[in-house]
Amino acid sequence: MPSALRSCALGSCAFVVAMLLAAPSFGQAPAGGPPSVGVVPARTKAVTETTEINGRVQAIGRVDLVARVSAWLQDQLFAEGAEVKQGDLLFRLEQPPFQADVEAKRAAVAQAEAQLELANLTLNRAEELLKTNAASRSTADNARAAQRTAAAQLRSAQAQLRQSEINLGYTEIRSPIDGRIGRIAITPGNVVGPSSGALATVVSQDPAYVVFPVSVTRLLQLRAQFSTQGGLEAMKIRLRLPDGRVYGETGQLKLQDVSVARDTDTIILRGTIANPPLRGGGHELTHDEMVRVILEGPTPRDILAIPRAAVLTDQQGSYIYVVDDKDVARQRRVKLGQSTAETAAVVDGLAEGERVIVEGVQRARPNAQVAPTPLAPTPAAAQMGEK
């Protein structure tokens, strides 16, 4: 390469390197100067306090459909997975044997009625003859006993007829609740009975239960936290679905179990939440589905909020860096309230208006000079006051 070109190329490279070194960069302090950091002021926001706990959706009603008499399973009258109403006919068992038994029992009732009618006539005749001394008292007593026996036999025959009619009714298996029916366990053509197990299961859909365990310690904290806002019963329940979406309906806490599980030291809480049908069919919530239960306070509370990125943690707990009026970084131990992944709620250790280091935290050192640059509030922090 000619020396002139070589000199030009070297000169260009030197110029580029010089420009790169001279270019400003946030977070890199000038040589010998304090490190640059981004700060935001601590502000009071109206925050709805929340707590997330693992839980499950449970159907309020769940019924196993079991044959109550032994018979041939004749018909399945539903589509698996379909919505059913209370009283819908779902299965039909073979009926002719039970119908024949009903007819036989009706005949037995008719026979018993005839026997009772004859016994009544005999008793009346014996009592009339006794008045004229044309019959002995023993004859009248025997007639009275025969009449009572015939009456008892009629009641027995009527009871047997009623039982036969009940058994005939058992050949039609109907849904006892509104809900969705699952897959069939035994297909038509098989002989079924009380020991055959569930033919299918119906679970109610709307509303649904949400069941979740809470440690006793956490329960006491929640009780104290919301004691002035109506207690636990005033808390709202929302659900985070397995795909991360927050369910659109809001529920209420309805039940606290009466005992604590010894192995986990937790107590079961249960809420009720609406589960309306979707436009395309079905329901959003499914029995036994795992969800994240979001417990929300009934009313927002004013609380100091800062970006979560500002909070550091060590063995002693949580701390932040604040910048004083002399641009010196001060380490500050803080106590956090109910926080989210984006926003930390500070309940102790910080005053409103103090400048908190959010960017460049790793470059800050306790009691060291910094070069603070104000940052715009994050969207999450800006929206907290709108909840």
Q: Tell me: the pLDDT tens digits for 267-282?
A: 899 999 999 988 888 8
Looking at residue 194, which CATH number applies to its domain? 2.40.50.100
**Tokens 């989210």, located at residue:** 340
Alpha-carbon distance values, 39 to 24, 103, 148 (Å): 19, 91, 101
Asked whether residue 286 is domain-assigned, the answer is yes
Q: Last residue of some domain: 187, 203, 219?
A: 203
Task: Please state the rounded mean pLDDT for residues 367-374.
Answer: 91
Q: Quick check: is 6 in a domain?
A: no
Q: Within this chain, do residues 237 and 252 fall inside the same structural domain, yes or no?
A: yes
CA distances from 255 to 84, 209, 228, 271 (A): 28, 10, 20, 7
Give the number of domains in the chain: 4
Same structural domain, 70 and 198: yes
Read off the pTM: 0.64
Same structural domain, 307 and 377:
yes
Amino acid letter, 339 = S
Average pLDDT score over the chain: 83
pLDDT, tens digit, for every residue of 210-222? 999 988 888 888 7
Residue 25 has pLDDT above 90, yes or no: no
141 found inside a domain: yes
Q: Could you say which of 271, 296, 321 is where a domain stops? A: 296
Q: Please tell me the predicted confidence (pLDDT) of residue 306.
A: 87
Name which of 377, 369, 319 is nearest 36 in CA terms: 369
Same domain, 164 and 179: no
Query: Is 20 within the bounds of a domain?
Result: no
Q: Phi first, then psi: give them for residue 236, nearest 5 degrees.
A: -95, 150
- 337 within some domain: yes
Structural domain containing residue 185: 66-93+172-203
Specify if 26 maps to a domain: no
Give strand pairing partners of 75: 92
Residue 8 included in any domain: no
Distance, CA of 350 to CA of 338 (rounded, Å): 16
Q: Do 216 and 276 sit in the same domain of this protein?
A: yes
Specify the pLDDT at position 244.
87
Residue 27 has pLDDT above 70, yes or no: no
Element (H, E) at 378: none
Can you say whether the dihedral through the CA atoms of 222, 226, 231, 233 is positive or negative? negative
178 three-class SS: coil
Does residue 307 fall inside a structural domain?
yes
Contact indicator for 125, 146 with CB cutoff of 8 Å: no
- Segment 13-29 shows an average pLDDT of 43
CATH at 214:
2.40.30.170
Residue 303 has pLDDT above 90, yes or no: no
